[in-house]
Each structure stands twice: as C-alpha cells, then as structure tokens.
Amino acid sequence: MARIIAGVASSHVPAIGAAIDNKQTEEPYWKRVFSGFEKSKEWMAKAKPDVAIVVYNDHASAFSVEIVPTFALGCAAEFPPADEGWGPRPVPVVKGHPELASHIAQSVILDEFDLTICNKMEVDHGLTVPMNLLFGSPKEWPCPVIPLAVNVVLYPPPTAHRCYMLGKAIRKAVQSYPEDLRVVIFGTGGMSHQISGPRAGLINSKFDKAFLDNLTRNPKKLTKISHLEFMREAGAEGIEMVMWLIMRGALDDKVEETYRFYTVPASNTAVGHIILEPKNKAAGKKKPAAKMKRAAARVKPEIRRSK
Amino acid sequence: MARKDMRKAQDYDDIPGTFVFDAERSRQGFGINMFCMSLMKDENRKAFKANEPEYLKKFNLTPAQTEAILKRDYNRMLELGGNIYFTAKLGATDGHSFRHLAAVMTGSTQEDYADMMLKGGRSVEGNRSKSGRPAKNILVAAGKPAAKPKASKPKSKSKARSKRG
C-alpha cells in the first residue's frame, strides 16, 4: 500500500530559481534564504521518498488565458521545464509517475473532484523552484513527480476548504494504490506577497506566522479563510497559500512540525517553509524508529527572520 | 453586444491599490493577455518592436487598452483586464526587470521599492480598505482601519511612460 510520509510547504519565488541558475546562492542576500533550506535538504535526503506530489501553480507558462483549469493533474511520463521568456530553466526534465497519477485521477474524480488530466504539460518555476530547495540541483531528480497545477491566477481560485478536502481525497487515493510507495506531498507558493498594482510589495508576517502555526495544529481554521481575507491580508498573490491546504489535507489529522523557516524578503515575497510528519512517524519510515529519531533530533524547528 | 468595460461591484474592490484579475477582467482583458503571451516568441517580440501600433491591431483591443500598452501604463493594463504574470512578459520584452515594473506600479523608484522590501515590505496597516470598513478576519484580527490608505495612487505617472525601450 502506498502512503504519504510527510508534507512539505515552500514558497516558489522565481527569483530564487534565477539566483540558483545564475550561481548567486552565496551572495549575502540569497544566502539568508538558502541557508534556511540546508536542513530540509538533509531531511529530504534521509526521507528518500519514492514519489513526490507537487501542488503548484502555473504562471502563464503552460496555460495562457485560453484554458484555465482549476485543478490539473499531470499524468504524463515526463514534464519538460517551460520556457518562461528567458529559455527553459537549466534543471532536469521532471519524470512523472503515470501509474500512480492516473490512479489518483480516477479515484478523486469518482470522489467528486473534477480534475483536468494533463497528458502533456510543461512545468515552470512554480514546480521546479521548490524541487531545487528540497532536492538541491542534481543531474536527475531523485524521484518521480506528480504535478498538480492549481489555478490561483484567475479569480476565483478554489476555496481553502475545497483545497483541504481535495487533499483528503488524494490521501485516500494514495492509500488505495497497491504498490508500497512512500510519498511526499508538496504545497507551494506564498507566503504573503503582492506583485501587482499600487499596493505591490505588501508583506504580512503576522498573518504568515499565524498561518504556519495553525497549519500544524488547527488546519480547519485555515479552511475558513475567505478569498477576500487572503487577498486583503496576505496580498493579491498571497492567495496562493490555498495550495498549502491541499498538502495539509493529505496528511494525518495530527502531525508534528519537523522544521520551519521564514524570512523576508526574497524579491517581493515572504518566504515560508515547513515540514510536517505524522505523529506516529514509524508508520512512514523504512528504517528502525531509533535511527530516525536521531535524524529528526538534528532537524529542530527554527525560525529566522531578517528585518 | 454587452459593453466591454462594464464592471460589477465586488467585495474585493475595497482593497486599495489592487486590481483583482477576476473572470470579468479576464474576459475584458483577453486581448491584452494574449498579446503578452505572444511575446514568448522571439519573432513576435521583433515584430512588435518594429511597429508597435501595427502589431497590436491583431489582438482586438479597445483604444484604451492599446493606449495603456503603448504607454507602458502597467496599472491601467491591470485595470483593463491584464494580469501581472502576462504583463510582466511585456516588461521582459522591453528588457526591464520585475523591480522596474514594481517601481512603475507603485509610483516609486526601484531603489526605494527595493529598500522597502528589505525593511520588511509594505505594511498591511492602513492598506486594508478604501472604505474603512472593519475587516472580519478568521486568522489575525485586524487593527483599526486607517482613514486614508497609503497605497492609493502612484505618485508619478510620468515614470510609467518614460521608457519605451
């Protein structure tokens, strides 16, 4: 039986990708951002998932305004990096997991979530930046990826509650897959930011912190946040955070926060990152519990801020 | 045919300095966004640069939309249905960084904008509401709404029109 062993949330700021591609990660401005993901990379290297489901949004790369699917699941064998205007990012082609992806599609559609199925799709920084942050910059990505593109560009995106419930349906789908696969699910985007109009530059750390706090213990509260509140408090583009709730919905009701990182800014955006694991971690691990405890002890929750 | 520029009032219209790209704007701004999307191809960028007004004729734009594009009035483009992820492609075609666009939209200089971000960004305090209606929040209770929102209008419009690349 496949199972979800952890949830990861991370911002997907395009400038982070540019800093990686232009080898600026050691510059003080960027080091502040990247240093927050060092422990996460160690954690991921130990977690060694068999598959990653990455919830993200497309930014006028694969989808223009001609067709705007609310939820689009990538069922292809591979997903080439999109040309976002400066040539495709120099990252490996993302390999899919068509068998699990089509199983998820069939399961959640019958659970009344009307997904769009993408058998051919390019992926942009929304997906590849969080991959870099958690997997580094390897020649090949270490595991297959199932992209789930969510419309958060054209208002209205799916509601926070709908996203959370889709997460639950995805969890059910994964658990009904016969092969013994260990799956990590990513929620990406956010945190507070607005990049459009005269109010551009908006950051709301109070909102972000409260969001992170509630994500672990009280996600149901977050499912009640209206789109108006997201946009007003966290910026017009901060509404991306609904995608984190798909990740959260796919996890156990009770989870532990393994790691947290928050810094302002990366270009126009508050960078937030969290790793959540089931309380009964043994259930999700291959290795003996004692060994994993030591590994977990090295990755203590932590907050850094630059202000 | 229904008037292209008519717009229903929405609760989020109360957020200052913000043009929400909703279904209605998406319909009105289809031409702007398809024009911007066309700039993903080098041959189109060249054709646009060679004769901007002529190139724009292909996209069924209103005169106001054409004017906003020609003048690089990024806020007006958003108001008329452009979306930032699309209009950013026009900025890139002009060789401008996103920070340039942010400075144009916020009526500040690139340096001041970058400095504001380094200092923690634009505060939500005073930037929640045009009307001063109290915000009913689930997550973090909002403080008293300020009488005058800070991010109402860009200070200088000329900046938006200065660089035509």
- B116 CB neighbours in chain A (<8 A) are 201
Q: Best mutation site among B33, B80, B87, B117 for testing chain A: the one with the most A CBs within 10 Å?
A: B117
Is residue A193 flagged as an active site residue?
yes
Rounded to whole angstroms, how far apart are CA atoms A237 and A248? 20
Is residue A97 flagged as an active site residue?
no
- A vs B, Cβ pairs < 8 A, gives 173
- B129 CB neighbours in chain A (<8 A) are 232
Which pLDDT score, from 0 to 100, does residue A156 have? 98
Which pLDDT score, from 0 to 100, does residue B4 have? 55
Higher pLDDT, A83 or A187: A187
Which pLDDT score, from 0 to 100, does residue A289 have? 46
Q: Give the pairing of strands A94-95 and A78-79.
A: antiparallel
Rounded to whole angstroms, how far apart are CA atoms B37 and A85? 10
The CB-based long-range contact list for B5-9 (8 Å cut-off, 24+ gap) reads B5/B62, B5/B64, B5/B80
The CB-based long-range contact list for B71-76 (8 Å cut-off, 24+ gap) reads B71/B160, B71/B161, B72/B104, B72/B160, B72/B161, B72/B163, B72/B164, B73/B157, B73/B160, B73/B161, B74/B101, B74/B104, B74/B105, B74/B160, B75/A197, B75/A198, B75/B19, B75/B104, B75/B105, B75/B154, B75/B160
Tell me if B83 and A60 make a contact (CB, 8 A cut-off): yes
Q: Which segments in chain B show pLDDT lower than 50?
A: 1-2, 146, 148, 152-153, 155-165
- A267 CB neighbours in chain B (<8 A) are 98-99, 117
Rounded to whole angstroms, how far apart are CA atoms A236 and A239? 6
Which pLDDT score, from 0 to 100, does residue A25 have? 96
Choice among A59, A125, A161, A227 that is catalytic? A125
Mean pLDDT, residues A279-294 taken together: 53
**A13 with A264: CB under 8 angstroms?**
no
Query: Which pTM value belongs to this model?
Result: 0.90
State both tokens at A201: 């530059």
State both tokens at B125: 């305090």
Which pLDDT score, from 0 to 100, does residue B144 have? 58
Tell me if B83 and A154 make a contact (CB, 8 A cut-off): yes
Which pLDDT score, from 0 to 100, does residue B8 have? 87
A193: closest chain B residue by CA: B121
pLDDT tens figures, A174-218: 999 999 999 999 999 999 999 999 999 999 999 999 999 999 999
- B153 CB neighbours in chain A (<8 A) are 198
Rounded to whole angstroms, how far apart are CA atoms A210 and A222? 9
Mean pLDDT, residues A234-262 taken together: 98
| Amino acid (one-letter) located at B55 | Y
